[in-house]
Chains A and B, each alone.
Chain A
């Protein structure tokens, strides 16, 4: 069965540190990949997504992610984090282009940025 793995459960960084959150999926076919973010007290919102084309995708607030097909990975990066990036981050995969197009989520990574 398909799965999405986020190995970092809780990451603590100081402001201006660089961030990389890992995401791996297990599925051999075509995938669409997403990163969602949930800021404290807010609803889940899309950070960035990959469908096709350039494997390096840029999202909101300076985030980017790189799709490496050979490694089944879609890691999230940001060169310099801010206190306001404190949130929970979810990687997600959808496996088909039609029908319900169900989104499967990883367990999430909680990021705490210390001022």
Chain B
């Protein structure tokens, strides 16, 4: 069966420090991968998606970047965090069956101080 994991689960970082959140998917090949941010009262905002290795599309301009070095690995990064980067980050994958359903990871809560 397919599984998705992201880490770390919780992160407290000072303003200006770098960030790296990692997401891996097992049990499926060539998934579409997504990074969402869930901010209080603002729902889920799509940040990045990837349809294949090295292919990254950004939905909103921001201080963050994403990379997909391997088929089942999706990384969310920042060189210098801002206070506004605080939030709950969710990684998700979608298979090739085109049912449209996304499967979400457990989430990573980032607090920037």
Q: How far is the CA of A34 from the CA of B94 in the complex (A)?
A: 14
Contact of B90 among A44, A94, A102 (CB under 8 A): A44
Q: Is A27 an interface residue (CB 8 A)?
A: no
- Are B98's CB and A98's CB within 8 A? yes
Q: Is B15 an interface residue (CB 8 A)?
A: no
- Are A43's CB and B106's CB within 8 A? yes
Q: Is B17 an interface residue (CB 8 A)?
A: no
Q: How far is the CA of A87 from the CA of B19 in the complex (A)?
A: 29
Q: Is B46 an interface residue (CB 8 A)?
A: yes
Which residues on the A side are within 8 Å of B44 (C-beta)? 90, 92, 105, 108
- Are A43's CB and B98's CB within 8 A? no
- Are A34's CB and B49's CB within 8 A? no
- Are A107's CB and B43's CB within 8 A? yes
* Closest residue of A by beta carbon distance from B36: A105
- Which residues 21-78 of B have a CB within 8 angstroms of A? 32, 34, 36, 41-46, 49, 51, 57, 59
Given contacts A99-B51, A107-B43, contact A32 B107 (CB under 8 A): no
Given contacts A101-B100, A103-B102, contact A43 B107 (CB under 8 A): yes
Q: How far is the CA of A101 from the CA of B57 in the complex (A)?
A: 13
Q: Is B104 an interface residue (CB 8 A)?
A: yes
Given contacts A45-B104, A101-B94, contact A106 B51 (CB under 8 A): no
Q: B residues engaging A (CB < 8 A)?
A: 32, 34, 36, 41-46, 49, 51, 57, 59, 90, 92, 94, 98-102, 104-107
Excluding A44-B102, A105-B46, 15 further A-B contacts by CB distance (< 8 Å) are A49-B99, A49-B100, A49-B101, A92-B44, A99-B51, A100-B32, A100-B49, A100-B51, A101-B32, A101-B100, A102-B49, A102-B59, A103-B46, A104-B46, A108-B44
